[in-house]
């Protein structure tokens, strides 16, 4: 059984399912998204050279039947539906459930809901409605974050014959699995103390390093989401400071590749109190 829940930016929501008052009659756009094939062509080349495929926005259409006991209730529910699907509020969250699968996607109403006239579309106790949504990012997401703390490893080399010291290396390392259809951004939280902390995606050969010292009460938060990239330090009072300019110039805001990813954390501080938590949502092309 399908169920749709749309929640707007004000927190208002409407539930569409196989029963009154908002009966979901059909939904289009769960899987079909156009792709823009990127190619380049050299002089005298037959055909072209493939570069990449870029997905377009996702369009979703909902056909709804409003059911009530009288005309006054119909008008009230029409007004409520228009209020929830208010395009002036910007992005909301569309949640899809079918009994075994739960997915979410950000969506913007593409206009005010349509309430068609005619005896087949309107009556004393029913009213049909059409809602059109545009999803700027076409991927469906898990409804929850996968969040894991990186484990602590220690190893080292001793040189007792030549030096009265020990060189050791401490690092956090763990395998993270992206079970979605496409790479997904990550949210990284470092808990100090740390000096010049670095997180590596050994699978992708990429890293993010922040040339900054963290105290034991500091928290470094990195978001690698396209269009929302950020690097901030939060102190013990919850005050955040933008430290984007402290990013190492060779760093890249990597994503988890599809499948297994080995992530590793290191710091110039040898403390065992440091913790790193990685959070992400798997992304899918369809439901």
Summarised one tens digit per residue, pLDDT across range 204-247 is: 999 999 999 999 999 999 999 999 999 999 999 999 999 999 99
CB-based contacts of 59, cutoff 8 Å, min separation 6:
29, 110, 132, 133, 134, 135
pTM, two decimals, is 0.86
Summarised one tens digit per residue, pLDDT across range 249-286 is: 999 999 999 999 999 998 887 666 778 999 999 999 99
Summarised one tens digit per residue, pLDDT across range 22-61 is: 999 999 999 989 999 999 999 999 999 999 999 999 999 9
Summarised one tens digit per residue, pLDDT across range 89-136 is: 999 999 999 988 999 999 999 999 999 999 899 998 999 999 999 999
Summarised one tens digit per residue, pLDDT across range 150-193 is: 855 544 433 343 333 333 345 678 999 999 999 999 999 999 88
């Amino acid at each position: 059984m399908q169920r749709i829940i749309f929640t707007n930016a004000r927190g208002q929501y409407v539930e569409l399912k196989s029963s009154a008052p908002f009966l979901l009659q059909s939904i289009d756009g769960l899987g079909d998204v156009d792709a823009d094939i990127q190619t380049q062509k050299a002089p005298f080349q037959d055909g072209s050279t493939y570069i990449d495929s870029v997905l377009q926005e996702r369009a979703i259409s909902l056909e709804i039947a409003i059911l009530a006991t009288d005309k006054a209730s119909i008008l009230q529910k029409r007004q409520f539906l228009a209020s929830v699907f208010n395009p002036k509020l910007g992005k909301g969250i569309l949640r899809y459930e079918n009994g075994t699968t739960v997915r979410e996607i950000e969506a913007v109403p593409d206009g005010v809901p349509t309430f068609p006239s005619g005896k087949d579309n309107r009556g004393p106790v029913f009213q049909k409605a059409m809602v059109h949504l545009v999803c700027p990012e076409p991927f469906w997401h898990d409804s929850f974050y996968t969040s894991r703390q990186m484990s602590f490893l220690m190893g080292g080399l001793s040189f007792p014959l030549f030096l009265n010291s020990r060189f050791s290396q401490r690092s956090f390392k763990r395998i993270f699995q992206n079970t979605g259809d496409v790479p997904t951004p990550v949210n990284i939280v470092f808990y100090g103390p740390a000096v010049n902390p670095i997180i590596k995606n050994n699978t992708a050969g990429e890293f993010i390093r922040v040339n900054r010292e963290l105290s034991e009460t500091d928290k470094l938060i990195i978001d690698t989401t396209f269009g929302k990239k950020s690097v901030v330090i939060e102190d013990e009072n919850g005050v955040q400071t933008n430290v984007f300019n402290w990013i190492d110039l060779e760093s890249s805001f990597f994503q988890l590749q599809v499948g297994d990813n080995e992530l590793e954390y290191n710091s110039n501080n040898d403390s065992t109190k440091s913790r790193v938590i990685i959070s992400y949502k798997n992304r899918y092309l369809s439901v």
